[in-house]
Structure 1
Amino acid sequence: MSCVTLIFTVHEELGLANANELVAILHILQPEVIFLEVPVSAFDDYYVSHTRRNLESEAVCLFLESHPCTKLVPVDMPTPAREFFEDHEQLFMRVRQTSRVYRQLARVDRERQRMYGFAYLNSSYCEQHWAEMRKEELRVLAQVGDPGLTGIQAVWERTNELRELEMLTNIRQWCLEHRFERGALLVGAAHRHSLTEKLQAQTLINWSLLE
């Protein structure tokens, strides 16, 4: 049975959450295939022409220099329209402006990312901390009572739900068509809780968490 290790990451470098640290993890795991949180339509931008870059693409391209036979598989659904992200940024600005508690939680999160990098992002402490942030976010939205912001939140959560299902479906399909022993999925740490819950119903692949 193929084994795929989940590596929870962030898209922008911050302290020890950086490309070199992620490369070091990949060198330890030696994946034969890396599943990427990018849609097929954006794959060339990140991994061929390099007109777009993020932490993951920088790390993967460095890893490929010494492991050119590693296969890269984009598994995300098509990127939503720009307005989707603009709306979500508007929501978070409102939450940050309204809640001192949320601002403090966000500062702690960034400091832990900076100091501990992937050790933090792949820990239960990160999952618990982000759950606290989400709880405070929902509390603020309920307090504000703005139907527009509530709608933005609902669309955001539903879209991420569909993205996770799409990623798992695409990974499963690839595993049905190809033989390999070791793989890795690079995915944002915000997906940790809901994604690991979905994996409980997955039997084709032996999933593991980064330790």
Structure 2
Amino acid sequence: MKFSSEEVAQYLRQHPEFFEEYADMLAEIQVPHPHGGRAIPISERQIVALRDKNRILQDKLGELIRFGEENSAITEKMHRLAVALLSFSHLADFLHGLNFHLREDFSVPHTALRLWNRSTEGPALPELAPVSPDVHVLAEGLSHPYCGPHILDEIRSWFGEEDAARLRSFAKVALRTDQVAGLLVMGSEDPQRFYVNMGTVYLTQLGELVSAALARFTQAEG
């Protein structure tokens, strides 16, 4: 009578005493090495399996540690940005400081920002230049940040002709308090820097932070 592999496995699960009764026999059984090569005893095979599992667990632990360190670094950068933005008393300085921190702290060298329904004293700022209805509609429709390769030609032009031609991926973040009041766009020459379906938790927090800080200037300079 021939038993299937599943029947043998089921029998051994139901009769663990088998391993005590036939301990000597088990020590003599040779099985293929999991990584190829010579046959090895079952006991050595178990040791190899445990080592493999341990290596996998170590890799996962290392990955979790790396993620934790990366998240901690981003949190620290967000804190520095918040402190910096709260220190500015003029909109022009605020916009310059935002661009500086995104470039130096977050390694985003290409940023563009447009604000609407506000005015400011002093020289005209490009960030306050009028935008088309299409941009308004796009910003209104951003319930969460967009990441990917697609962007309106009008928005691409905000980066300047030379830089715009090199950009391959974008992150678009609507700025809102009671209503949408602007659009922050970050661009990269790397197609995978801002990719579709990437996590947007920190981009959402960035948008909320910039929006809240900008609200001060609505009262002070608007």
TM-score by length of 1: 0.23
Flag the structure with more relative contact order, 1 or 2, with Cα contacts below 8 A and sequence separation at least 6.
1
Look at both structures and tell me which one has the larger radius of gyration over its CA atoms.
Answer: 2
